[in-house]
Amino acid sequence: MGCTQSRIALPAYDWAAAVDDDKAGLILRSKEPETPADSASLSSSRQLSSFNTLPRTSSSAAALRSHPSSPYPQFRPPPPYSSLSHGFRTMRTDADKKPSPTPVDPTSFGNTDQAYTRHLALDLTVDFDRSVLAGSVTHRVRVANADASEVVFDTKYLVIQGVEVAPAPATDPAAMTATDFRTVDYHLAAPHPKFGRALHVSLGHDTRVVDSEYLVRIRYETTHESSALQFLTPEQTAGKQHPYLFTQCQAIHARTMVPCQDSPGVKLTYEASIHAPQPLTALMSALSTGHTAAAEGKTTTFTFRQDTAMPSYLIALVVGNLQGKEIGPRSTVWTEPEVVDAAAWEFVDTEKFIEIAERLLTPYQWGRYDLLVVPPSFPFGGMENPCLTFVTPTLLAGDRSLVDVVAHEISHSWTGNLVTTKDWTSFWLNEGWTVFVERKILGRMHGEPVRQFAAILGWKELETAVRFYGADHPFTALNVDLTDQDPDDAFSTVPYEKGFNLLFYLEKHLGGPEIFEPYMKAYIRHFAGQSISEAQWKDFLVYYFKEYHPAGEKEAERLLGEVDWDAWLNKPGMPPVTPQFDQTLMKDCQHLAERWQTAAGQKDQDDAYTGFKSSDLADFSTDQTAVFMELLLEADPLPTAAVEALGKTYEFPTVRNAEVRFRWQMVALRARYIPIFDAVVTFVLEQGRMKYIRPLYRSLYAAGDEGAKLARKTFSENRGIYHPIAAAQLAKDLELA
């Protein structure tokens, strides 16, 4: 069953008032409430706040009022706070105030500098018999340029059936219906192999006025090629009784589900009516506003609203036999009934993560934070769909050891979903920031050595990626040229880990967490609701530290001047600075890996491995076991006897934890250990998370003739079980594309 929540509009935060209040001493003020709901939320939200951990420079008080030299004329910087009180609402994200249409996005045809979507309404029927979505989308389009004669949407693998346009009702900016729709000409451009077909819609009116708005209704259907959608047969689900559908729109698959300006530079709100066969439940990346069963008892209509502006890649839908179990005051975990208890147990710390993130950044903006455990073919660890994060069941380790992915997706509620990269060339702005916040959360939960150790594991994964591509490969730079490139092809751990390391380095270099954490809040507050470029990110960082660095502007300038920005942002390969991570948790991993390598070097000695005991790993965390195995993967391949001893000593062949199982199989494949092949095939057919299946298939493919044949055969015979995004990448990996 869908849940129903009403959304309370948040009062806008008034920086100027905050400055006055700050000077006066203690209280932060919001603007006068605009609605009774605002008033209700405001009365409970005026709170005292402790602050000013960061001394101001002498000029900063004046700067807070007006800052003519600022590259941000409207910017009134926040006072730095050491903590945020719960219930204190800082901002409202409002597409009206902060439209950020981009004139240019290398991966979108949207003419967003001319006309851009502010809101859209979906009305879709889920047809499991034909495996399509069918219905309409209505865009509320705002004219940004008086010369705009058309609006251009992205489409790929869609059947467009008709387009109508009407002037949007001016009296009600939220109204999505009009009586005077008229059919207009549209034109589908020739298909681009990666980006699909631009849909040109004539606005059809003689007078176009900047800021005027039109409703553009497009009737359409998806097709079997629509790569955002995976329809599962009942046999592919845990319950085996009902079909299932889920979507994955990042990076540029939203255009295969709905005609839209499919650029992260455009933020929109949305509403939806989804008609699904009974007894299935539909959920979206939005708040549920109810559901109604049709009179004839065959379908249920589920309705949704997302009132916080977000980019198209965050549109998400799931339809299946879903059951929810509450795991926190604003969180329910949704999954098939067969796994709901296990999922609720695994993710019990969700609320703690959200609260830590709120203290680090700003209050949670999206109302609900629900989790959906998707069937095993989900191609990623998690996807940060607002209000409803999608996660892979490979996180269900039974010991809560893999929930860092949930901390990661929660962090995206700020970095990525509130503050968004304006195009995919700076994907690291989403991911590097999110890994940074995720590890801050883990550090707050489990201590600084755990954060540092997670960073070491990340560094190892970055080294692996750079080794894989080659140190001069353009995909190993933070900024990637995506001209004529499908972002999926450029996707790797690099933006995650190199981006993290840039922020980790800056934090230390600029004076440590006491100085950097207030900047993190300021960054979110300043850019919330916007899509930004890397240049905007950097300008604000420089501006902030020159204004607020406790050692003064000159020292801040000196420190910032020492950063090799070009190497960090534009050069391929490993980062220009190698971080000194805390080694507390690393030493034991290193020691154990060295012992194995020494033993493996004594090739002819029968007793080379007798010194190893299962207790070697008894005190290791999952991350430590993973790093131990990463160290083995970095070194020369182990001899067969060592692989056998390793598996026997630590019982790796029976371990279910996906991170350990994956690395064990990688170590064995690296050694071309043929007895592992069956287990690898079992694992790659059990789940479709690309983090595991792509390296495993590639390694099997590289493990001699037998391995190569088996890899191709396994994939060819089972291609249908994989998500279209994963299947496309695997076909390339195995040279079958």
> Of 99 and 382, which CB lies nearer to Zn ion in the complex structure?
382
Would you say 445 is a known binding-site residue? no
Cβ-based neighbours of 700, under 8 Å, separated by 6 or more: 669, 677, 680, 707, 708, 710, 711, 714
- Closest separation in Å from C-beta 385 to ligand LTRB2CHR: 10
Nearest residue to ligand LTRB2CHR, by Cβ distance, number only: 381
**Which residue stretches of 46-118 are H helix?**
60-65
Q: Is 438 designated active site?
A: no
> Of 114 and 389, which CB lies nearer to ligand LTRB2CHR in the complex structure?
389
- Closest separation in Å from C-beta 456 to ligand LTRB2CHR: 18
Q: Is 626 helix (H, G, I), strand (E, B) or coil?
A: helix
- Closest separation in Å from C-beta 491 to ligand LTRB2CHR: 4
DSSP string for 216-240: EEEEEEE-TT-TTEEEE-GGGSSSS
- Binding pattern to ligand LTRB2CHR, positions 445-484, x when CB under 6 A? -----------------------------------x----
Rg value, the chain, Cα: 26
Is position 571 an interface residue for ligand LTRB2CHR (rule: CB under 6 A)?
no
Would you say 691 is a known binding-site residue? yes
* Torsion from C-alpha of 510, 511, 516, 518, nearest 10 degrees: -120
Is position 400 an interface residue for ligand LTRB2CHR (rule: CB under 6 A)?
no
- Closest separation in Å from C-beta 419 to ligand LTRB2CHR: 16
Q: Is 409 designated active site?
A: yes
Strand ranges across the sheet with 213-222: 182-183, 158-167, 213-222, 132-143, 115-127, 268-277, 299-310, 287-293
Is position 381 an interface residue for ligand LTRB2CHR (rule: CB under 6 A)?
yes
Total H helices, total E strands in the chain: 22, 22
Pairing of strands 317-320, 420-421: unpaired
The residue from 18, 126, 251, 315 that contacts ligand LTRB2CHR (CB under 6 A) is 251
Residue 272: closest CA among 323, 320, 223, 317? 317
Region of 189-197, 463-471, 488-496, 626-634 interacting with ligand LTRB2CHR (CB under 6 A): 488-496
Of Zn ion, ligand LTRB2CHR, none, which one sits near residue 204, judging by CB under 5 to 8 A according to partner kind? none
- Closest separation in Å from C-beta 384 to ligand LTRB2CHR: 7
Task: Locate 170 and state its tokens.
Answer: 């001016």
Phi-psi sector, 333: left (phi>0), alpha (psi -120 to 50), beta? beta
Task: Return d(Cα 99, Cα 258) in angstroms, integer.
Answer: 21
Stated as kind and residue range, the H or E segment containing 448 is helix 448-469
Question: How many CB atoms neighbour CB 704 within 10 A?
Answer: 12
Q: Is 198 helix (H, G, I), strand (E, B) or coil?
A: strand
Cβ-based neighbours of 253, under 8 Å, separated by 6 or more: 156, 227, 228, 247, 313, 725
Is position 721 an interface residue for ligand LTRB2CHR (rule: CB under 6 A)?
no
- Binding pattern to ligand LTRB2CHR, positions 492-511, x when CB under 6 A? ---x----------------
Would you say 448 is a known binding-site residue? no
Task: Return d(Cα 300, Cα 274) in angstroms, integer.
Answer: 8
Would you say 379 is a known binding-site residue? yes
Catalytic residue among 346, 358, 409, 461: 409
Catalytic residue among 496, 519, 609, 697: 496
Q: Which residues in the 670-699 window bind ligand LTRB2CHR by CB under 6 A?
A: 689, 691
Q: Helix 622-634 and helix 587-601: axis angle, to 10°? A: 40
- Binding pattern to ligand LTRB2CHR, positions 159-188, x when CB under 6 A? ------------------------------
Task: Return d(Cα 526, Cα 520) in angstroms, integer.
Answer: 10
Task: Return d(Cα 674, Cα 665) in angstroms, integer.
Answer: 11
Task: Return d(Cα 27, Cα 488) in angstroms, integer.
Answer: 47
- Closest separation in Å from C-beta 304 to ligand LTRB2CHR: 22
- Closest separation in Å from C-beta 7 to ligand LTRB2CHR: 26
Q: Which residues in the 259-278 window bind ligand LTRB2CHR by CB under 6 A?
A: none
Of Zn ion, ligand LTRB2CHR, none, which one sits near residue 274, judging by CB under 5 to 8 A according to partner kind? none
Is position 722 an interface residue for ligand LTRB2CHR (rule: CB under 6 A)?
no
Is position 383 an interface residue for ligand LTRB2CHR (rule: CB under 6 A)?
yes
Cβ-based neighbours of 591, under 8 Å, separated by 6 or more: none
The residue from 115, 395, 490, 502 that contacts ligand LTRB2CHR (CB under 6 A) is 490
Could you list the residues that contact Zn ion (CB under 5 A)? 431, 434
Give catalytic residue positions.
409, 496
Give the residue numbers of the binding site for Zn(2+): 408, 412, 431
Could you list the residues that contact ligand LTRB2CHR (CB under 6 A)? 250-251, 380-383, 424, 427, 480, 487-488, 490-491, 495, 689, 691
Give the residue numbers of the binding site for a peptide: 248-250, 379-384, 689-691
